[in-house]
Amino acid sequence: MFEDKLFLGGKEFKSRLITGSGKYSDDNIIKDVLEAAECEIITIALRRIDMDQPEKSFLQYIPENKILLPNTSGARNAEEAVRIARLARSAGCGNWIKIEVIKDQKYLLPDTVETLKATELLVQEGFSVFPYMNPDLSVAKRLVDAGAAAVMPLGAPIGYNRGLKTLELIEILVEEIEIPVIVDAGIGRPSHAAEAMEIGADAILLNTAIASSNNPVKMAIAFKYAVCAGRMAFLAGHGSVSKIARPSSPLTGFLDN
């Protein structure tokens, strides 16, 4: 279609859509969803893997050419997040890690202080760290200084599927932060994904919107095209906005003239 590569953690990607691997009614469908979405990165929760028999877990449905992005789901503080990250690397999941440090069990909002602490520690250990965060510019700048590979601001609380409730705050991060901005959580429709890409987000991460749909494979295709459309619109540059009507054709040359 066009050459527009995404660079993350020292790697180059064609797709700007990242998907999760949870909430599917049948793990057998994961491979079909990944093929339909044409995504190259997939997130996994380490606590879903039987470490004694990893080959019998949902990992068997993920093609070997995909980049795994383990997350620290379940971590309540930086210490637990670091421990999970180390376990993921020991299990052969690579050195990419998505930091999720969440104490709040009602809205699942990230703990800023513990997220920053975990990021600093894991960067020092050679991880490519992708912190899930509230869309706060000051926090994002601190994560950049800590060495994060990207920032992952939430569009809305996890699993909401209600769209980008923090759109204007994410737009500030896009304008001010030099590392990739990956919108994570809250996206429920392809139009939401397109909207995030239109303001300049570098990528989209979603899971529930696909996994909970009536046809996850078709929904994966829809999100693939939505992300591409939004990205192309951003690169093209949006048309001017006016408060009054402006004709697309000249108001001359009418039949009665």
pLDDT for 134 equals 94
Q: What's the pLDDT score for residue 105?
A: 83
Distance CA 156, CA 164 (A): 6
Residue 85, pLDDT score: 94
Tell me the two tokens of residue 254.
């009418």
- Determine the Cα–Cα distance for residues 103 and 42; give it in Å rounded to an integer: 24
List b or e across 234-255, with b for residues whose CB sees 16 or more CB atoms inside 10 angstroms.
beeeeeeeeeeeeeeeeeeeee
Q: List domains and CATH numbers for the chain.
A: 14-235 (3.20.20.70)
Q: Across the 257 residues of the chain, what is the mean pLDDT of every consecutive 10-residue run? A: 81 92 75 89 74 58 81 92 91 89 87 95 96 96 97 86 88 96 92 95 92 92 96 88 71 61
> Is 98 part of the annotated catalytic residue set?
yes
What is the chain's length?
257
Which of 5, 11, 56, 98 is flagged as catalytic?
98
The pLDDT, as a whole number, for residue 249 is: 67
pLDDT of the residue at 44: 84
Check: CB of residue 73 under 8 Å from CB of residue 100.
Answer: yes
pTM beyond cutoff 0.85: yes
